[in-house]
């Protein structure tokens, strides 16, 4: 079986690969692609996969832009945190989904649905040319659901791989995000640091700009954790966080934009 994974979060991709191996789905290497453009290039240059696991938001944009440009005829199991406005479309068109963070049992249930469909088509329920996938109608319905969402959908949680296992960190618990010597960390209100995948710029695009503001080249701060903002030397601002002695500073270049962000 040929399997393709579209996922920009390394812990989530690693978990999917572990589940695929546990289910013994394939003995072939499984490509993992993090962007719409890389996925487009791969799909145009390779035979179609038998099964596709697809996140909704990739590094360079929404995955439905890919499905509007490239005809994907294989079954797709979505791995997403955005169930609130996509589930009606999924139910209406029989597309399986996995809501992050998901367990192996949920993965196996989605896989069972795929196998049921596969057996039905193999038995002659529909010609091969009409294999389950994303039709133009489904793509339009999903895209419309995205456009009609009242608020843009931003990341709600991080899956963080620690020595003790996989930790789920809620974005609401993150006081600030900091890039330090090539690694990006989320820091919670207690000062605990969690290593994240991706650069600070990539993570900034995934976080709600109404909640997280840019301080400087290496830090983002959550408005919910700001206690006080005071003038600092060289046209900078000192940002004191509540519940501790942490004080962050803006850069001189970023201070005007940060002031505008504070004012909402």
Q: In the structure, how many helices (H) and strands (E) does the chain have?
A: 8, 17
Q: Is the pLDDT of residue 129 over 80?
A: no
pLDDT one-digit tens code per residue, 198-239: 899 889 988 999 999 999 999 999 999 999 999 999 889 999
Burial class of residue 85, CB neighbours in 10 A (0-12, 13-18, 19+): middle
Q: Identify the band that residue 121 occupies on the pLDDT scale cut at 50, 70 and 90.
A: low
Q: Identify the band that residue 68 occupies on the pLDDT scale cut at 50, 70 and 90.
A: confident
Query: In which residue ranges of the chain is CATH 3.40.50.2300 found?
Result: 3-148
CA distances from 207 to 177, 189, 203, 214 (A): 10, 17, 6, 11
pLDDT over 90 percentage in the chain = 48
Query: In which residue ranges of the chain is CATH 2.40.50.1020 found?
Result: 167-262
Distance between terminal CA atoms of the chain? 51
The architecture that CATH gives domain 3-148 is 3-Layer(aba) Sandwich (3.40)
The architecture that CATH gives domain 167-262 is Beta Barrel (2.40)
Within 8-103, residue ranges assigned H as helices are 10-22, 36-45, 64-69, 83-93
Q: Is the pLDDT of residue 117 over 60?
A: yes
Backbone angles phi, psi at 193, to 5 degrees: -100, 135
User: Residue-wise over 173-184: b if at least 16 C-beta within 10 A, else e?
Assistant: bbbbbbbeeeeb
């Amino acid at each position: 079986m040929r399997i393709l994974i579209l996922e920009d979060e390394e812990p989530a991709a690693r978990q999917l690969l572990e589940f695929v191996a546990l289910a013994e789905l394939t003995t072939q290497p499984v490509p993992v692609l993090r962007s719409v453009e890389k996925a487009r290039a791969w799909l145009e240059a390779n035979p179609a996969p038998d099964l596709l696991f697809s996140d909704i938001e990739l590094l360079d944009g929404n995955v439905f832009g890919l499905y509007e440009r490239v005809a994907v005829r294989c079954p797709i199991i979505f791995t997403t945190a955005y169930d609130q406005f996509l589930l009606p479309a999924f139910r209406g068109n029989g597309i399986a989904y996995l809501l992050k963070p998901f367990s192996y049992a949920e993965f196996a249930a989605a896989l069972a649905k795929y196998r049921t469909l596969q057996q039905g088509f193999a038995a002659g329920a529909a010609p091969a040319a009409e294999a389950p996938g994303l039709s133009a109608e489904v793509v339009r319905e999903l895209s419309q659901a995205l456009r009609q969402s009242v608020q843009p959908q931003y990341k709600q949680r991080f899956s963080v791989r620690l020595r003790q296992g996989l930790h789920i960190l809620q974005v609401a618990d993150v006081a600030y995000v900091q890039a330090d010597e090539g690694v990006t960390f989320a820091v919670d209100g207690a000062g605990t640091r969690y290593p994240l995948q991706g650069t600070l710029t990539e993570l900034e695009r995934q976080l709600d700009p109404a909640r997280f503001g840019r301080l400087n080249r290496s830090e983002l701060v959550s408005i919910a954790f700001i206690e006080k903002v005071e003038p600092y030397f060289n046209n900078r601002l000192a940002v004191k966080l509540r519940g501790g002695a942490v004080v962050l500073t803006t850069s001189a270049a970023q201070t005007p934009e940060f002031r505008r962000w504070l004012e909402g």
